[in-house]
Amino acid sequence: MQDIFERMQQIIAEQFSVEEDEITMDTSFEEDLGADSVDLVELVMSMEEAFDIGEVQEDELSTLSTVGDCVNFLTGKLDG
What residues are annotated to the active site?
Answer: 36
- Which H or E run contains 6? helix 2-16
Long-range contacts of 13-22 (CB under 8 A, 24+ apart): 15/39, 15/42, 15/43, 15/46
55, 65, 32, 20 alpha-carbon torsion, rounded to 10°: -50
